[in-house]
């Protein structure tokens, strides 16, 4: 078929218009459409699944207020989305039920020192927006046993929390090294800690942060040592349901905002001063003086300011929970990449 020049022009114009129109529509949808975000805003409260209670990640302080690295992440999301870090409903979940509760829609996000794995991503239909704690599976044993390497635990019994990747890691380690480390599986950490203390097990294993937490609950923490070697690798982070990419993005970039705060040297105390008249272009964009960071997430432009102002940057939170003001657990892999760690927020543009 041959078309006259005029009609070709018309056709071309129509195609361009259609492409533009479609693009504009797609653009509009991608910025705002998130059922979870809408539900959270409507409810006026973020529903966050956390640990039932473990020092470092999620624990209640003497006044009964939830504290911890995971808890702070929940509060940061609430600050970004709702403008108030206290508008969070915390639901303590055992390791066994956590993914079922998330999949059923009872909570908006699960931040419960959960290891991010291929199987959970693909088989459970869950998405893994970020890593908020890098660690490895660590063993804690009684000093008096004189053990210095995981391999020397052949024949020993180790207490473990059930429903975790830890059991599998030990089974794999046993097979790879042709030894036999026995496990005793507990539903909740409280009974597991009691069994370790009583000598029912020779030691306790979990990710590094949790083992530090376990040691802090022992009658005499100095009787217990960490074995220097870890098995497996445990990147811990939040989980959301698949199928809501906009919500996924909010979780992911809230984490990066906390890291960016540390990169830019913004803290709860100095951010107000820094916001007055920022000159550094990175700072201007991050604090919403320039550009549209918030709009692309379906939030307002002050979201990142609120995260730092109301909750603090990642380094501040780590210091208060795992660092010198908390469990005294070395920052190690969780340092910024500039300090030899693995924490590197993606660039914003």
List interacting residues with other proteins (CB under 8 A).
95-96, 99-100, 103, 119-120, 123-125, 145, 153-157, 159, 162-164, 167-168, 170-172, 174-175, 182-188, 191-192, 194-195, 197-200, 202, 242-243
Compare residues 200 and 233 and give the one whose CB is closer to other proteins: 200
**DSSP label at residue 49:** E
**Residue 191 or 272 with smaller CB distance to other proteins:** 191
- Taking the complex as a whole, the smallest distance from the CB of residue 52 to other proteins amounts, in Å, to 13
Residue 210 or 335 with smaller CB distance to other proteins? 210
Q: How far apart are CA 109 and CA 99, in angstroms?
A: 10
Residues 186, 196, 212, CA angle at the centre, nearest 5°? Answer: 90
Instruction: Let me know: does 51 contact 70? Beta carbons within 8 Å.
Output: yes
Minimal distance in Å, beta carbon 109 to other proteins?
A: 17
- The Cα 37–Cα 96 span in angstroms is 26
Q: Shortest gap between Cβ of 16 and other proteins (angstroms)?
A: 37
- Give the nearer residue to other proteins in terms of CB position, either 1 or 198: 198
199: nearest Cα among 145, 270, 125:
145
Whose tokens are 């020779």? That residue is 202
Closest distance to other proteins from the beta carbon of 37 (Å) = 19
- Residue 155 or 265 with smaller CB distance to other proteins: 155
- What's the closest the beta carbon of residue 163 comes to other proteins, in angstroms? 4
Q: Tell which residue, 210, 25, 183, has the closest CA to residue 114.
A: 210
Closest CB to other proteins among residues 25, 177: 177
Structure-token match 């973020």, residue found: 46
Residue 333 to residue 323: CA distance in whole angstroms:
13
CA 262 to CA 285: how far, in whole Å?
15
Closest separation in Å from C-beta 135 to other proteins: 19
């Amino acid at each position: 078929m041959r078309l006259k020049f005029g009609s070709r022009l018309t056709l071309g114009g129509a195609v361009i218009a259609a492409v533009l129109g479609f693009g504009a529509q797609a653009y509009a949808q991608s910025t705002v459409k998130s059922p979870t975000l809408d539900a959270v805003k409507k409810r006026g409260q973020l529903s966050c699944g956390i640990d039932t209670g473990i020092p470092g990640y999620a624990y209640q302080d003497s006044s009964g207020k939830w504290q911890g690295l995971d808890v702070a992440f929940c509060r940061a999301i609430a600050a970004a989305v709702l403008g108030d870090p206290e508008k969070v409903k915390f639901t303590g979940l055992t390791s066994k039920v956590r993914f079922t509760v998330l999949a059923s829609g009872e909570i908006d996000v699960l931040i419960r020192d959960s290891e991010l794995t291929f199987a959970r991503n693909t088989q459970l239909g869950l998405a893994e927006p970020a890593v908020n704690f890098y660690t490895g599976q660590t063993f804690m044993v009684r000093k008096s046993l004189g053990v210095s390497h995981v391999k020397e635990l052949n024949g020993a019994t180790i207490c473990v929390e059930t429903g975790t990747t830890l059991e599998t890691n030990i089974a794999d380690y046993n097979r790879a090294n042709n030894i036999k480390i026995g496990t005793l599986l507990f539903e909740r950490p409280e009974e597991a800690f009691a069994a370790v203390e009583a000598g029912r097990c020779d030691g306790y294993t979990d990710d590094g942060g949790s083992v530090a937490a376990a040691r802090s609950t022992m009658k005499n923490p100095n009787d217990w040592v960490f074995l220097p070697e870890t098995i497996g690798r445990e990147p811990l982070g939040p989980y959301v349901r698949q199928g809501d990419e906009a919500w996924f993005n909010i979780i992911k970039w809230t984490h990066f905002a906390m890291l960016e705060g540390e990169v830019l040297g913004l803290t709860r105390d100095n951010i107000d001063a820094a916001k007055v008249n920022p000159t550094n272009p990175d700072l201007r964009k991050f604090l919403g003086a320039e550009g549209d960071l918030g709009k692309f997430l379906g939030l307002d432009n002050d979201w990142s300011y609120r995260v730092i102002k109301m909750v603090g940057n990642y380094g501040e939170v780590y210091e208060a929970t795992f660092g010198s003001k908390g469990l005294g657990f070395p920052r190690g892999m969780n340092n910024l990449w500039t300090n030899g760690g693995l924490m590197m927020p993606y660039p914003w543009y």
